[in-house]
Every structure is written in structure tokens, then in C-alpha cells.
A and B are shown apart, each in its own frame.
Chain A
Amino acid sequence: MKPPILIIIMATIMTGTMIVMLSSHWLLIWIGFEMNMLAIIPILMKKYNPRAMEASTKYFLTQATASMLLMMGVTINLLYSGQWVVSKISNPIASIMMTTALTMKLGLSPFHFWVPEVTQGITLMSGMILLTWQKIAPMSILYQISPSINTNLLMLMALTSVLVGGWGGLNQTQLRKIMAYSSIAHMGWMAAIITYNPTMMVLNLTLYILMTLSTFMLFMLNSSTTTLSLSHMWNKFPLITSMILILMLSLGGLPPLSGFIPKWMIIQELTKNNMIIIPTLMAITALLNLYFYLRLTYSTALTMFPSTNNMKMKWQFEYTKKATLLPPLIITSTMLLPLTPMLSVLD
């Protein structure tokens, strides 16, 4: 894609999300969502093949439906409260519609079916933008309407998302699908805590974005999209295999890595609100997630997969791919746990 066009499209994506996050008028929020969606379609179709077209079409259809549902919820809210300002939604029907629309945009179960297929059909870079930047806008709206969200609905969606994210990823060998199911599961954890303590949702989102960015960058460094091609990494960059090990364990939520912080905080907030079984169930289902991350690390870092002889020469060549900001990303995605007491500044 020609650089000027790429810059304009990227700027539109960012502007769209910024408009969603910073405006207080529901119409502008809808405009922001539409801008974001329309601008990301060319990004999803960077490689012009039928698979990418199918992925973009699916993305467009789900996001457009969700935006329309959101607009309907906004209109019902306008009918009952008479204002366009983003604030507490008094009408439960409007609130449920908005919640459904936003969870459709996020890819929470039972609206998760588009996430693996869209992520699989696009390049790694587009997948990275899809799974990290695109989550910010819906999450910010959920944050703003969090006092009026129906807890039962969102908790049900969260639980089923964690289950789907865990079980769906078990049979996958394609890295993009694995990251898609990981995103579904993490969105589930975030949705569970919105109605109780939205700050923890922001914490989880931040850490999730950092970890996913690092993971995708490591995949892109290796240009690998399957587990098999990832397993050849020990020939090329042995140091990066250790990074993949630590990152995957952090994504799985193992202490003492920073992936444990959101899980700990979320379980703490849920137990403060007298829910014991749900966090236990969520924590145990997160073990399914850990299983397929661990399978990735087994094939990549902890065993030396057999490879052809010409692979073994690859370490001699210097790699020229740029890994932007990779060291700080990896450090923040794995070593932030000792800084957990600093969360008190958020009060």
C-alpha cells in the first residue's frame, strides 16, 4: 500500500477511536465507530486474496450490525430520557441493547464466532491491530455506561466467553486462531468485572494489550503463523524462544509474571462482592488457556524440534526485521508484578 494512503487510513482508525473515547454525544460515538470500521477494512485486506476478502466481509457485517444495534439502543434511551449525553442509561431495554451491541463488537460469547475466522484470514500485523486497538473503543463505552449495565447478562457472557476461549483454542495449531481465542477469553475476564470495579477492567485491558502486542511482534519477527513454523525459532533466534516462553506463561496468568495481576485483582474484586463460585470457575477454566499456551512453549522453547539441515545455517544471518519497542514491551508484559501496590494510585 502506498505510504500516503496508509498514513491516511491509520490516522482515520486512530481518529475514529479517539472520537469514540472522547465524545459525550451518542451520535458522535456512533460516527466514531463507523469511521473506525470503514477505515480498518482496507487494512484487513492488505493481502488481496479471497480469504482476506471473506474475513473483511465478516468483520464488516458484524460490526455494522453491532453499530446499528447501538444506534437503536441510543434512540430508545433518547426516547425515555430525552438526551444525547452519555450518562447513566435509565431504561433497561436500551441498556441491554447497548451492552449486546458492544459485546458483539468485542467478540464476547455468544457473539464470538467472527473472531477466529477474521483473525485467521488477515496478516499478522492487521491481526495485531484488530485484537488490540479495536478493543479500546467498545471497552471505553462499556466503562462509561458501567453503572447501568445488567450484571446478570454481562456475567453470563463473561463466563461463556472464558469457557469458549479456553475450549476453542485447544484444537488449534494456527497461531492467529490461538490468539483469537485468547482474546475471547481475556475479554471475558474484563467483562466480568466491569459492573463491580471498572478500574480493574482498564488494568486488564492495558496489560492484555501489552502482552498481545509483544506476542504478535515476536510472531512477526519470525514470520510464523503456525505452531510448526514457530518451532523452528530455536535455529534462528534462540534468545527469542525464552521470551516466547515467558510471554506465554504470562498470558496464561501464572504468578510471578504480570499476567497474574489482572486475574488476582479481578478475583479479589469479585470475592469482595460475595461471589465465590464464579471466580473459582473462571480461574480453573483459565487453565485450559494455559494448556494451549504451554503447548506452544513446549514446541518452541522447551524442546528442540527437528528441522532440516539448511535451517541450522539461519543463525548466521543478521535479522533485519524491525521489532519496534520490543524490549520495553516484553519487560512490561512479564515483570510488572512487584509494582502491584502502585495500583493504589488509581483510587
Chain B
Amino acid sequence: MLKIIIPTIMLIPLTWMSKPNMIWINTTTYGLLISLISLFYLNQPNDNTLNSSLMFFSDSLSAPLLALTTWLLPLMLMASQHHLSKEPLTRKKLYISMLILLQLFLIMTFTASELIFFYILFEATLIPTLIIITRWGNQTERLNAGLYFLFYTLMGSLPLLVALLYIHNFMGSLNFLMIQYWIQPLPNSWSNIFLWLACMMAFMVKMPLYGLHLWLPKAHVEAPIAGSMVLAAVLLKLGGYGMMRITTLLNPLTNFMAYPFMMLSLWGMIMTSSICLRQTDLKSLIAYSSVSHMALVIVAVLIQTPWSYMGATALMIAHGLTSSMLFCLANSNYERIHSRTMILARGLQTLLPLMAAWWLLASLTNLALPPTINLIGELFVVMSSFSWSNITIILMGINITITALYSLYMLITTQRGKYSHHIKNIKPSFTRENALMTLHLLPLLLLSLNPKIILGPLY
């Protein structure tokens, strides 16, 4: 694993010592090279024994997320070039260093083999994200957004620290590979119920669960583009990954403890999808759509069947790429008209037809069109929740319909129809933007040819 971590650390001296006109090129190129290295880990033998060292390991669950994280860094750098072009050189280098630092912490989080190490890095990812949102966001609301983001996550995760230390005392070690063999069923008692809650609430807040999702629209909307991309694509998946790792310790309590969270997720996904239909702010729409998709992941992880785990993993990867692409598209709008209101820039298909093609593909993947991996994820989750309880099919069906509705609403409002007359003089699409969209879309479409690499450890 050091072959990924040390090059990522060395990206920081690379930014600080490059010539001023080469900082973006250097970091993006080497970031892409690092993501090539991470692709090696996708070749997993099926017996789940890939263990690199004492501290790091990777299995079929963390390898796709690792590949997603390393793939996203060059994309974030490409997306940020425009809005940082007017800043002084030191601030550009600081921004890039924050992104690289965040990348480093995320790589270590996804490959951590000990749960306390995972916890420390889980919290460590908060600091660069906070700095990116609060320092480089654009509106005054970003201060509040940073506060909500930090404190919601910390309130959830401090009980997790206590719970992990308690489990450490109880089991002897928190090395994930070892505790798989020492798991005993958790008896039903009040203190074990609180243990379950303490373990899961951190990840529920991070996912986010419907009742605790208030930080997400604020943080996603106020963050600059790279911040939004990494938040939507990777940081939410930290919650899903953590939940999948820690539910192995918490059986059989999950059978009945999951009910309140299942209810919140099932209801919440419909609620947040419906809110999307009434949004005027483009980034806010994409943020609420993230909540809705992640609610599906929560339902899948709490059901704990093989198909649902496969669906959750596939959905996480698919949603990561799709959501990040949607944020990039929204940002390309924002950079031209400096407003996030959807109806201000309508009918863009006439003005920027290639970008309209990317909008179309992004919206189609967002509404889970076959044969994309979004569909595979959603379908597996719907099927497994149907087998858990037949009635959920109604709610899932309503959700799929409303998802289609708001994705098409977003597409039609921004792309179709007559253009608004004041946007005739926007700049045409940069090659950088088109490359960005291609790099998002290509993995998404290629993965539908071989989805088994993202289906996780239970394939």
C-alpha cells in the first residue's frame, strides 16, 4: 500500500516546487499515474486474503473505493483550474495541497486494517474538507456550512471512539482481519443496544441518514467544485464503508435495531427525492439526490443479505461517479453565469451541444438507466428489500419514479426549450471540461461491461 501512499505524500512537494505554470499539469499527471497503480488492487482473488502489511490491507470492498478516490484527485484538479486562476500562486498551491492531503487521508482510511486507525483517519478527513469549504467557498453561508459539517460528524463519531475502545478491551484487538474469526453473537441488553447505536450513529450521520442530513445540502452547496466532488463522491462512501465493516461485529442485534433506521431511510429517500422536484438551486438538487441514493445504501447495509451488500457496493461506486459528474456539470454552468439558479440558464442545448450530451448521459445514469451500474446497484437493493419485506416495493417503486422525474426535470430545465436571452454570450465549453466529463463517464460506462469488480466481497 505504500506504493500508493508515498507517491501521494510526494505530490505535496511537487506542488510547492513546480514552476508556476506547471503546477496543474504536474499534479494532474502524477495523480493519474497514482490512480493507475491503485487499479492493480482490483484484481482480487476470490478468497479474500489480500493483506499487504501490518497496517494496511485491501479486499474487494475497499479496492473499488480506493480506485474511485485516486481517480477523483486528477478530476478535482482539472475541475478547479478555472475558479482558482485569479488567485495568487501561494493560495493555489495551498488549495492543491489541501486536496492532496485529503486524498492521502482517504486512501489510508479505505485501506486501514485496524479500526482505531480507521477512526483517526475518518476524523482526519474532516479537517482539509473544512478548510476547503470555509476558505474557498463563495458565499457567506459557507461559515455556517463548515460548522454544521464539522459538528454533526463529530457528535456522531465521539461515541464511536468510546465504543471502539470498549470493543478493543472486550475482544483484545481491533485488527479487522482478526476479529472476523473472533466474533460472538452480541446478546440483547440495554448496554449492547447503546453499543450498537454508538457504533452506527457516526456512519449514519456521514451517509447521511434522513433525519441527520441537514449538514449535507449546506456543505455541498457552499463548497467549491473540488470540495463538492470529493464530498459527494467519496466522503459519503466513508459512511457506507464503515457501516459495512462494523456491522460484522454487531449481529444479531441488527435484526431489530435496524428498524428505526430502515423506516427513516425508506421514508427519507422519498422525501428527499420529492424535495428535489421543488428545488431552484441546481447544486442543492444534486445534494438532495445524493441523500436519496445514500438512503438506498443504508437500507441495503442494514438488511445484511449477500445481494444487498453487492447492490450497496455497486451503488456506492456508481453514485460516486455520477454525483461528481453532475456537480462538475453544475459548476460549468456556475462558472459562466455565476449563479446556481436553474432557470437562469435554460436551453443550453442550443448553445453548448456537446455539454448537453454529457448532461443527458449524466441524467440518464442518475435515474439508473439499464445497463449502467447504477441500475445494477438499485435493482439489487430493490430486490433484496423486497425479499426482506414485500411492502417496501411500493416505496422503492415510488422512489425510482420520482428519481426519474427530478433527473429529467433537471435535464429539461437546463438543456431543453428556448434559451434565455441573456446567456447568448457565454464562453463555449473548454476542452478541459469535456475531458473532465469523459473521464467521469468512461469508467461508468465501461464498468457496465464487467460489473463484477465493483460488486464487493460477497460476489
Contact = CB atoms under 8 A, between A and B. Distances in A.
Given A249-B127, A254-B126, A302-B131, A276 B166 contact: yes
Contacts of A302: 131, 134-135, 143, 146
A323 to B, nearest CB: 21
B33 interface: no
A284 B157 CA distance: 10
B406 to A, nearest CB: 34
A172 interface: no
B85 interface: no
Interface residues of B, number: 29
A309 B451 CA distance: 60
Pick the most buried of A254, A267, A302: most chain B CB atoms within 10 A of its CB.
A302
A245 B131 contact: yes
Contact of B151 (A264, A267, A268, A287): A287
A280 B165 CA distance: 11
Interface in A279-335: 279-280, 283-284, 287, 290-291, 294, 298, 301-303
Contact of B165 (A254, A260, A267, A301): A267
Nearest to A288: B151
A271 B147 contact: no
A269 to B, nearest CB: 9
Contacts of B143: 298, 302-303
B166 A287 contact: no
A271 B121 CA distance: 21
B169 A271 contact: yes
Contacts of A290: 150-151, 154
Given A287-B151, A294-B150, A280 B124 contact: no
Interface in A65-98: none
Interface string A242-284: 0001000100001110001000100110011000100110011
Nearest to A260: B120
A280 B159 contact: yes
Interface residues of A, number: 25
Contacts of B154: 287, 290
A254 B166 CA distance: 20
Contact of B120 (A249, A256, A298): A256
Contacts of A287: 151, 154-155, 158
B166 A271 contact: yes
A284 B155 contact: yes
Contacts of A284: 155, 158-159
Nearest to B134: A302
B149 to A, nearest CB: 11
Contact of B169 (A272, A301, A303): A272
B161 interface: yes
A3 B161 CA distance: 50
B169 A279 contact: no
B281 interface: no
Contacts of A145: none
Contact of A271 (B120, B165, B194): B165
A302 B165 CA distance: 34
Nearest to A278: B162
Nearest to A340: B120
Given A268-B168, A271-B169, A280-B162, 4 more contacts: A245-B131, A264-B161, A276-B191, A290-B151
22 contacts: A249-B127, A254-B123, A255-B119, A256-B105, A256-B123, A256-B127, A260-B120, A264-B161, A267-B165, A272-B169, A280-B158, A280-B159, A283-B158, A283-B161, A284-B158, A284-B159, A287-B158, A290-B151, A298-B146, A301-B135, A302-B143, A302-B146
Q: Sorted from nearest, which 8 A-B pairs have the closest CB atoms?
A: A283-B158, A256-B124, A255-B123, A255-B120, A302-B134, A271-B165, A302-B135, A268-B165
